[in-house]
């Protein structure tokens, strides 16, 4: 089965085929979310229904000359079944429309796992109630007891689901909020790195963001 791609902020009308592990064909990759501060990063959302862990994964975006355009700093232990945000820092000019390759490496880039032909069309769409210019702000980060979630200069009146998972993709907190901004009381969480998942009532991802629990 070929990987499934669905457009979040930019339409991806392309066909893709992995070139290495058979489990690569099971990956579901959703593209793309750019940051709102000058296109310094590009995020993809990746789900893995296969049994392959893809330990310590890192994604790299390459152009047709195989030059690196964007690269991810490894944050995850593996790729879980729920869509995870993989944010790549843009290190070379990225001009839309874009055609190139998306590579997945494992074990902190020690091993090559997958390669997909990758195209980003110059077509803008929206994602649920939150669009590219409605940036979610999480503060303080790192935090100890309370985490505040808001939209820069906006509010959302529809219900959202807020989940926090650890680096092993285990959910440690979940709550439904009827609107943003919202405050989460998280007293007692162990210090470390976590990920905040924000979804709508249809369980569609709105944003995933790394958060840190301080000591």
3-state SS assignment for residue 24: helix
Q: Which two tokens stand for residue 194?
A: 């976590």
Q: Which two tokens stand for residue 102?
A: 């998306």
The DSSP bridge pattern shows strands 192-199 and 205-213 to be antiparallel
The predicted-structure confidence for 149-179, as pLDDT tens digits, reads as follows 876 544 555 678 888 888 777 889 998 888 7
The predicted-structure confidence for 172-212, as pLDDT tens digits, reads as follows 999 888 877 888 888 888 888 888 888 777 776 677 778 88
Asked if 40 and 92 touch (Cβ cutoff 8 Å), the reply is no
The predicted-structure confidence for 5-41, as pLDDT tens digits, reads as follows 333 333 333 333 334 677 888 888 877 777 644 458 8
Separation between Cα atoms, residue 75 and residue 88, nearest integer Å: 11
The predicted-structure confidence for 128-137, as pLDDT tens digits, reads as follows 333 333 467 7
The predicted-structure confidence for 52-110, as pLDDT tens digits, reads as follows 899 999 999 999 999 999 999 998 999 987 778 888 999 998 888 889 999 999 999 99
pLDDT value for 152: 55
pLDDT value for 47: 82
Separation between Cα atoms, residue 32 and residue 58, nearest integer Å: 16
Q: Name every residue whose Cβ is closer than 8 Å to that of residue 2 and which is 6 or more positions away in sequence.
A: 15, 16, 17, 25
pLDDT value for 51: 86
Question: Among 160, 156, 163, which residue's Cα sits nearest to residue 202?
Answer: 160
3-state SS assignment for residue 25: helix
Residues in the chain: 215
Residue tagged 């339409």 (tokens): 11
Burial 71-81 (b: 16+ CB within 10 A, else e): bbebbbebbbe
Distances from the Cα of 54 to the Cαs of 25, 58, 91, 191, in angstroms?
13, 9, 24, 25
pLDDT band at 45 (very low <50, low <70, confident <90, very high): confident
pTM of the model: 0.56
Question: Among 135, 94, 116, which residue's Cα sits nearest to residue 21?
Answer: 116
pLDDT value for 102: 95
């Amino acid at each position: 089965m070929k990987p499934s791609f669905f457009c979040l902020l930019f339409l991806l009308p392309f066909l893709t085929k992995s070139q290495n592990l058979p489990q690569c064909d099971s990956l579901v990759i959703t593209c793309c979310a750019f940051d709102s501060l000058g296109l310094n990063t590009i995020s993809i959302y990746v789900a893995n229904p296969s049994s392959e862990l893809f330990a310590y994964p890192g994604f790299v975006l390459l152009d047709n000359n195989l030059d690196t355009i964007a690269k991810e700093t490894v944050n995850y232990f593996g790729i879980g079944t729920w869509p995870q945000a993989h944010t790549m820092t843009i290190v070379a000019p990225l001009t839309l429309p874009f055609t190139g390759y998306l590579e997945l490496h494992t074990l902190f880039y020690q091993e090559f796992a997958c390669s997909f032909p990758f195209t980003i069309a110059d077509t803008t769409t929206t994602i649920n109630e939150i669009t590219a210019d409605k940036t979610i702000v999480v503060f303080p980060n790192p935090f100890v007891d309370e985490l505040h979630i808001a939209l820069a200069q906006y509010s959302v009146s529809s219900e959202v689901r807020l989940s926090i998972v650890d680096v092993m993709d285990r959910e440690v907190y979940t709550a439904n909020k009827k609107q943003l901004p919202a405050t989460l009381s998280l007293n007692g969480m162990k210090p470390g790195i976590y990920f905040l998942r924000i979804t709508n009532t249809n369980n569609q991802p709105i944003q995933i963001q790394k958060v840190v629990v301080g000591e």
